[in-house]
Structure 1
């Protein structure tokens, strides 16, 4: 198993042609079966609609024995696993490449995609890294389509990852492109410092680490 979230488990798999893939299987939770199926179809529709080098690539899907999405495999795993869970240290050139890739992916989702999308859960865990450290925005389980004349919309229940939630969304349920931009700003700080935005085991704030992190940038 490659990873597990609140709604799905992700496994490493092999196709008959030898291609290595990631298989995302939705798991049973408190939601009704019909609601889970609707969530799956919405995520499937959104991912199938996306075509960008910095976003997850759908290879296929399956509904036999469960709800499965077959996605491109990311050899380096998630950005979170590299930043927080390994001895590997990304150099500044690679960090810049990752950050730029995420920004390009968000620009595509918000402005250039034929049907615009809000992701709603931009976190280090949802950024996957290819063999050459190209960033892929993944996990569109909370994503929403953006209507043509969308300015602000109120969404309930409020879902996402604590620490990345924009204040207007966390307090009032208001979502728009800025919801993802706020989360991206938090993620940039994590990329710069190599520390989690929310870490209850540490007494110091992330801002205290920022000066030390940026002192090495030229």
Structure 2
């Protein structure tokens, strides 16, 4: 836990001197800026024997298994499991090209959609499926292997009226399964990618989600590789944060916005520090934050996520993928990816929550740039209302607002090492 002096030193080293005179916290958070109830990772009482030290940061990391995991001795090997495992082993043997984003496939050459469909379609009992990589078994008894006919029936043949989200690589449809359960069906779109790249991305996302178990991360129900690649996720009733902030529906008051910000921060802290493997999301934005009951935030869409090994300080990726307005400078210019990539995006998202403005406006000006320009005037007139969403009026807690503003400015520092880690943010 950081001391009061350490927090002050961190704030004073940031290159935002125009803000320092206006955002002095009367009652600063003992950890960093956001005062939040800490829920921790998926294991509320982690076993101290299941921690390892990160050679990159010197921090400890919980290695506790997800709640619905079981041990190897509890798995009864079956023909289905052998076929599943064989598929990944065959990919390894054919490897000439490295896919570092895939935790259970270090390299691979060619795999066609036909082959993966043929092999995965034999998995008839998902309770026996274990994704195994680097000696780290991750059974997911709750995952279902859906037939395509089930998904077409659930979504009314992927009717446009059921389309609830669309991105560069996927469409998301609302659906209702035969048992009445409401789900979100993510349909992977080919775009300009080849089949082998699509499958690599699909397996990567499955492998990453397999190790995520946190209330502030989207929950996978199942998948389908029959007539295309699909992920079936839990449906959240309030949709995305983007729709709430910028849509014409229900107005999001400050209490709900602050709660959402806390949930996002907790989810990112889990991915960076408490998850069994370090995960960099790479596409934190308002449309990838889903809102559940009581406006609990869930981070979704791990299609661009990267695994960062414990002994790696950062990762260089190409091509640059993500959403303009949320991209950290070092990532946008040099392809450098680490936890601070997500921290920058979180800072922009926090500004979006505060201001009610889009990450990029109609003139193609980024929100981060706009806020920095406006902040120069705040030093003289000491009027923070210029930044606050005018729809909020004065209906917000001033201490929470100041904490959120300071946090956002610390997170969008153009020097990555000056940004706080998510463990310090909340």
Q: Does 1:186 pair with 2:360?
A: no
The residue correspondences of 1:32-181 to structure 2 (distance < 5 A) are 32-181=194-343
TM-fit CA distance, 1:93: 1.0
Deviation per residue, 1:20-69 (Å, 9 max, x gap): 00000101111110110110010011112210000010000011111010
What's the TM-score once normalised by structure 2's chain length? 0.49
TM-fit CA distance, 1:201: 4.8
Kindly indicate whether the alpha-carbon contact (under 8 Å) linking 1:56 and 1:71 is maintained by their aligned counterparts in 2: yes
Worse overlay, 104-113 or 8-17: 8-17
The 2-side partners of 1:104 and 1:46 are apart by 18
TM-fit CA distance, 1:196: 0.6
Find the counterpart in structure 1 of residue 385 from structure 2: 211
Kindly indicate whether the alpha-carbon contact (under 8 Å) linking 1:126 and 1:138 is maintained by their aligned counterparts in 2: yes
The 1-side partners of 2:249 and 2:166 are apart by 21
Residues 37 and 87 of structure 1: CA distance in aligned 2, closer, same or farther (over 3 Å): same
TM-fit CA distance, 1:89: 1.5
* 2:357 aligned to which of 195, 200, 203: 195
* 2:178 aligned to which of 16, 20, 42: 16
The 2-side partners of 1:139 and 1:87 are apart by 23
Worse overlay, 201-210 or 57-66: 201-210
TM-fit CA distance, 1:211: 3.0
Q: Give the strand-richer structure, 1 or 2.
A: 1
**Is the radius of gyration larger for structure 1 or structure 2?**
2
TM-fit CA distance, 1:119: 0.1
Higher RCO, 1 vs 2 (CA within 8 Å, ≥6 residues apart): 2
The 1-side partners of 2:179 and 2:297 are apart by 25
The 1-side partners of 2:254 and 2:319 are apart by 38
The 1-side partners of 2:194 and 2:333 are apart by 27
The 2-side partners of 1:26 and 1:173 are apart by 24
TM-fit CA distance, 1:91: 1.3
Tell me the secondary structure at the aligned position of residue 2 of structure 1: strand
TM-fit CA distance, 1:202: 8.6
The 2-side partners of 1:39 and 1:87 are apart by 34
What's the TM-score once normalised by structure 1's chain length? 0.94
Kindly indicate whether the alpha-carbon contact (under 8 Å) linking 2:308 and 2:314 is maintained by their aligned counterparts in 1: no
Tell me the secondary structure at the aligned position of residue 76 of structure 1: coil
Deviation per residue, 1:66-104 (Å, 9 max, x gap): 101000101111100110112422111111110000000
Kindly indicate whether the alpha-carbon contact (under 8 Å) linking 1:8 and 1:27 is maintained by their aligned counterparts in 2: yes
Question: 5+ residue gaps in structure 2?
Answer: 1-162, 376-383, 398-426
Kindly indicate whether the alpha-carbon contact (under 8 Å) linking 2:185 and 2:232 is maintained by their aligned counterparts in 1: yes
TM-fit CA distance, 1:206: 4.3
TM-fit CA distance, 1:131: 2.7
